[in-house]
Structure 1
Amino acid sequence: MEKKTLSRDGTHIAYTRTGQGPALLLVSGAMSTGATLASLAAPLSERFDVTVYDRRGRGESGETEPYAVEREVEDLAALIDAVGGEASLYGISSGGALVLRAAASGLPVRRAAVYEVPYAMDDADAKARAEYTARLTEALGQGRRSDAVELFLRLTGLGEDVIRSARQSPMWAGMESIAPSLAYDDAVMGDGRLPQSLLASITAPVLSLAGGASAGWMREAARAVAEAVPQGTYRSLEGQSHMVEPGVLAPVLAEYFAA
């Protein structure tokens, strides 16, 4: 990360800014840092002033306790100030939920786009998320970072064989290092259900995206976001999953944010 800005509570937020044009901030999801979005930022920087950042508690950004979702919205406010006072926002997964909260908070958001915010679409999904929250809180409270990572990977639908393989990989140590931030993503998701009143209060246009190869409930949730936002639009990207390919996503975002 090349630069740092100071959030309202005194936390330093690290970010990288590339390209020229209208300001665009990219927001990562769980178990990731700003570097995760570098491959998306690169093509977008040909038309936009693109900022990627480490969300608080991960990467090169600082952390100030106690955590609150409002502090993450303030982080985005500080970044928007740093890039000129107005920006468009893109967020993936729980990062998309943060983008929607920021847009609803009254920040100067020109346009917003989100990819597969994993809102629960039925009681069974909501119950599973509540159980995840309880078990995650217990694991992190006891310092069991590895168990917390496993809980998250199971929530995403990975099988036990894949998880066992991941534990043996070089990336596992890095995942453990930012495991406490899983609680932050969980908090950003609220109770896991679609926040109808929050979405209805968003005045900026919102593009809600999903992959055509993703689970049905993911596409349903993305469509529900678009329907709940007054200026919402839904679009499915053929052949894509939750691990969306930057080369497919970038042109879609570029067309939308340039409008």
Structure 2
Amino acid sequence: MATTTSADGTRIAYHEVGEGPAVVIVNGAMSVAADGAGLASALAESGFRAVTWDRRARGDSGDARGSIPEREAEDLGAVIEATGGDAAVLGHSSGAVLALFAASLGVPVSALFLSEPPLRFGVGEPAEDLPERLQALVDEGRSDEAIVTFQLEGIELPREMVDGIRASELFATLVPLAQSTVYDATLVRNVSTPTAGMLSVEQPVTVLRGEQTFPLLIRAADRLAAEIPHAELVVVPESVMHRPDPDATARVVAERLA
């Protein structure tokens, strides 16, 4: 593990594996750098230096409370700077939203690979006050309730699935990430309809999705690819139900960065 410092002084932890051009992986909600290890390994085997990192309020990274999406964009910029100054970026889920948003703000990204970004384009948005309610739960010491609320309202998992997760051993690993759900909810609320800058980025853009995934994500990926003039939509059959297949995803990246 190595660390870098973001613009607001937040410590950001990152890991590198492999040799070659850098590809920075941006994970989605309720995940840490280790969750990208399989994808990083597949990229390394394809000739890249894969970088995974703990987004703020996760894992070994720090946090400046009250952070806004622009701070997370700066975090990505700090990781890119620490690992060579220029990189392709592969973002999954809310990480794809962050990657596109950061590129629109001028973070030095050479190419964008956006896997199933949960963009709603103004349709069926979560309650406007969700981030504030999540923050209140965290501040009250009810991090477990923040996780459940985010799962139910932020990503709209079925109640029976959420109850199953809460009863499993997995839940204990999610509770320490409660503060990060505030940031994910804020990010998606602010740019669930992409800004003009996000739709006019100059970098090559590849939007990825599975054939079998949630209908919201199919609509989002297809529409985003259609609204960015030069974007390419790639359907990855091996990626199922919002889980990017490491080998198939690495193959898409390698073919376009060759």
TM-score where L is the length of structure 1: 0.91
Equivalent AA in structure 2 for residue 188 of structure 1: L
Once the two structures are superposed, the pairs formed by residues 3-18 of structure 1 within 5 Å of their partners are: 3-18=2-17
Tell me by how many angstroms 1:139 deviates.
Answer: 2.8
Of 137-146 and 61-70, deviating more is 137-146
Q: Using the alignment, how far apart are the partners of 1:66 and 1:159 within structure 2?
A: 29
Give the corresponding residue for 2:96.
96
| Superposed counterparts of 1:43-122, under 5 Å | 43-46=42-45, 47-121=47-121
Q: What is the distance in 2 between the residues matched to 1:191 and 1:72?
A: 13
Distance 1:88 1:122, change over 3 A: same
Gaps of 5+ in 2: none
The one-letter amino acid paired with 1:35 is: A
- Measured in 2, the distance between the counterparts of 1:73 and 1:178 equals 19
Stretches of structure 1 lacking an aligned partner (at least 5 in a row): none
- Preserved CA contact (<8 Å) 1:130 1:191: no
User: For residues 157 and 142 of structure 1, do their structure 2 counterparts lie closer, same or farther at Cα, with a shift above 3 Å needed?
Assistant: same
Cα distance between partner residues in 2 of 1:129 and 1:37: 30
CA contact (8 A) 1:12 1:62 kept: yes
1:209 aligns with 2:194: no
Shift of residue 101 of structure 1?
A: 0.8
Structure-2 change in CA distance of 1:42 and 1:229 (3 Å):
same
Aligned-pair CA distance for 1:195? 1.1
Secondary structure (helix, strand or coil) at the match of 1:190 reads: helix
Q: Is the 8 A contact 2:30 2:181 kept in 1?
A: yes
Name the counterpart of 1:199.
198
CA contact (8 A) 1:24 1:90 kept: yes
Which range moved further: 197-206 or 136-145?
136-145
* Distance across 2 between alignment mates of 1:119 and 1:102: 15
User: Structure 1 residues 230, 5: CA separation in 2 closer, same or farther (over 3 Å shift)?
Assistant: same
Q: CA deviation at 1:234?
A: 1.0
Q: CA deviation at 1:85?
A: 1.2
Partner of 2:223: 224
Q: Deviations over 1:187-234 (max 9, x none)?
A: 221346321413223110111111111133311211221222232111
Q: Which residue in 2 is equivalent to 1:235? A: 234
Identity over the aligned pairs, expressed in percent?
Answer: 34
Superposition deviation, residue 129 in structure 1: 4.6
The one-letter code of the counterpart of 2:168 is S
Contact 1:166/1:172 (CA < 8 Å) preserved in 2?
yes
- Partner of 1:177: helix, strand, or coil? helix
- Corresponding position of 1:151: 149
- TM-score, normalised with respect to structure 2: 0.91
Count, aligned residues: 255
Q: Does 1:168 align with 2:152?
A: no
What is the rounded CA distance, in whole Å, between the counterparts of 2:39 and 2:32 in structure 1?
13
